Amino acid sequence: GLFGEEDEHVSVENAFRYAIYRINHDRELLASTKLVYDIQTLPVQDTFAASRKVCLQVEQDTIAVFGPRHQDLAAYVNSLSDATVPNNIPVHALTLNLYPGFQQVGMAYTDLISYYGWTEILIVYGTAYGLSRVQRVLRGDYGSLEEILVRHIDASNMRRILKEAKEKRWKRILVDLTVDETCLFLKMALQEGMIDPYHHYIITNLDIESIDMEDFRHNYVNLTGFRLVDPSDPYVRKIIHDMEIYEMQTDLSLLNTTGYLSLPVSIFVGLNVCGVFFFFFFFLFFFYFFFVFFS
């Protein structure tokens, strides 16, 4: 398991541990085999040191690599996989990507904006990944959209940008931030009088159900978002129940507790290691997970 230093939430690493736990305790899946995992934290800013750790993993007869998610580190692991697998086996045959890519997610937001017929939009993002996600929106052909304003945002300039939007009467806002940053943004917008039926927000974070909406519901907030994990699905409900028990037994954090108890999108990454390990168990391969299931 390869994770970027300070680049992943601790729950993602815990989900990886939980996935191996589920495999080893499944009476039917690999019943006569026990998987052993090793977790390495890779320095995001030092690709040389990170590459050495990855090479050490390969030397230990690793059968599968989970991660890393960081773009630069993932590119290196992908390059290493090209050099490791036999020449007669195409590397894409041993690589598995299960996630909605930036292009697909961007297309969903583009279609949504076109459906609403917005004439202007303010796009706020917090990271380079966020900017990559909204690139499709910036390049979209809408017809009705006349103005696009883009702002990089963090806790230090959040209120200033909200005041700017209020002054310029920008009422259509696409927000690409983490759950915590989104909560802070919406609270500041509430304080600025920008949570009302006349403002419309599109939230790109796929864990939108983990945001506590209690402070906004009485202001008739106009907020739209997408969700990948269906909390009413029987399989998801069973997983959540099992993970609650696992949390109590191990004291490891897995589930969202804000808003209401829910399963973060990134956690499904770890859970689906179960099926992947079973299918590719006798192959040396490298695979990268970002987000997984559409519900």
Instruction: Answer yes or no: is pLDDT of 32 > 50.
Output: yes
Going through the chain in order, the beta strands assigned E by DSSP cover 2-4, 40-42, 64-66, 97-98, 120-125, 147-152, 172-176, 200-203, 222-225, 285-289
Please give the structure tokens belonging to residue 273.
């290691």
Pairing label, strands 97-98, 120-125: unpaired
Cα Rg of the chain (Å, integer): 21
pTM tops 0.95, yes or no: no
pLDDT at residue 286, rounded to an integer: 30
Which of 96-110, 172-186, 218-232 is least confident? 96-110
pLDDT tens per residue, range 144-159: 777 888 999 998 999 9
pLDDT at residue 166, rounded to an integer: 92
For residue 167, which of 194, 201, 200, 185 has the smallest C-alpha distance?
A: 194
Distance CA 215, CA 219 (A): 8
On whether the CB atoms of residues 224 and 202 are closer than 8 A, the answer is: yes
Instruction: Answer yes or no: is pLDDT of 72 > 80.
Output: no
Cα–Cα distances (Å) from 16 to 19, 236, 288, in that order, read 5, 17, 13
Residue 151 burial (C-beta neighbours within 10 Å; 0-12, 13-18, 19+): middle
Please give the structure tokens belonging to residue 10.
């601790």
pLDDT tens per residue, range 91-104: 666 677 666 777 78
Give SS3 for 79.
helix
